[in-house]
Amino acid sequence: MNVSEARHAFITGGASGIGLGIAEALAARGVQVTIADANEETLAAVLVSHGDGWRGVVLDVRDRAGWARAKAEAEAAFGPVDIVVNNAGIAPNGQTFADMNPDSFDRIIAINLTGVFNGVHTFAADMRDRGRGHVVNTASMAGLATSVAGTGAYSAAKFGVVSISETLRGELAENGVGVSVLCPGYVQTGLSLNTARLGGETRGGGLAMPPSDISPEQVGDMVVRGIEANDLYIISHPHNWSGVEKRIRGLLAAFGQDL
């Protein structure tokens, strides 16, 4: 879709990191944005520093009743949502499956996977019925390939987000609604801090993300381009191909095929 013709975007995890980068990139194209976030203080600070055309709503993406309220309030202010970005998430917990706390597994799945479904469930039918719109779901490179111990629950959720996105794209294509899945590598964000605020654990107990040469603002621009091109996959770190290649080669070998 032509982003400049979109009127309203709804972005979860929109008060920081990649979500804020996407919100700013869309706002720069004239789109009014509703940013949803579980952190009320961060949300308020962002709204103070941005002008008209921005509004915020406190939302825990696990709360389905909260989703319904957030949609009603957002659309009462800015009209129907043309772009929904399901971006909110928490970090890997650093636990192997054999030793994982079930509550930690459930939290990761509920926020990173079911939270995406909740966003799709809230907005996709209206987009389909209006015959316009675009859905962006944030997965991860860990949703395309993983073998790193301690990231299994996170990766399981992100693989699920990729699957939701691929299936949803086929379901909505004939109705003029696009779907993309964003698969970022490391981006300098507040993911670990946000994880801690929501009661989650992080690998090694640390709060610092690894260094990155890709900023949230750059990812935001990538997402805008991906929406306009109706790309299914939006990859922020194409040089991280090796893990995906290894997985694809393994699948091809199992099918008796070559890359």
Rounded distance between C-alpha atoms, residue 259 and residue 245, angstroms: 9
| b/e code 12-23 from CB counts within 10 Å (16+ = b) | bbbbbbbbbbbb
- 94, 154 in Cβ contact below 8 A? no
- CB proximity list for 24: less than 8 A, separation 6 or greater: 217, 220
Rounded distance between C-alpha atoms, residue 46 and residue 41, angstroms: 9
- 48, 124 in Cβ contact below 8 A? no
Residue 233 falls in the annotated catalytic set: no
Distances (CA, A) of 17 to 1, 23, 82, 194: 24, 10, 22, 10
Catalytic residue among 83, 154, 159, 227: 154
- 1, 82 in Cβ contact below 8 A? yes
Positions annotated as catalytic residues are: 154
